[in-house]
Amino acid sequence: MKDIMGMMKAASEMKGKMEAMQAELADMVVEGRSGGGLVTVALSGKGDLKGLKIDPSLANPSEIEVLEDLIVAAFNDAKGKSEAEVQRKMSEVTAGLPIPPGMKFPF
């Protein structure tokens, strides 16, 4: 019976940590850059686009495809950084729990 109570307590503590982490992720902002910093994209920890900065030197209508590619590259850079940070924070929350490999949080 002690094991069940211990598991219930651990689950309750983990739930609290998960809720705190979710709030922290909503406030987190990660920047991705491309073109040597000419394009910067800011994403929240949940992947929401928070900002986009484009160096004025890229505002050439004849090179719009280059600008589009740089925006996509900056977004992907920010998304990769955001996902890595989410996984790092999740590993802190779930440390010591027997979670199957490959299982991703939040669900």
- Using the Cα atoms of residue 40, residue 45, residue 49 and residue 51 in order, give the sign of their dihedral: negative
Q: Look up tokens 């109570």; give the residue.
A: 5
pLDDT of residue 39: 94
User: Hey, what domains does the chain have and what are their CATH numbers?
Assistant: 29-92 (3.30.1310.10)
User: How far apart are alpha carbons 93 and 56 in whole angstroms?
Assistant: 42
pLDDT of residue 2: 66
User: How far apart are alpha carbons 70 and 2 in whole angstroms?
Assistant: 57
**Residue stretches of the chain with pLDDT short of 70:** 1-2, 96-107
pLDDT of residue 9: 78
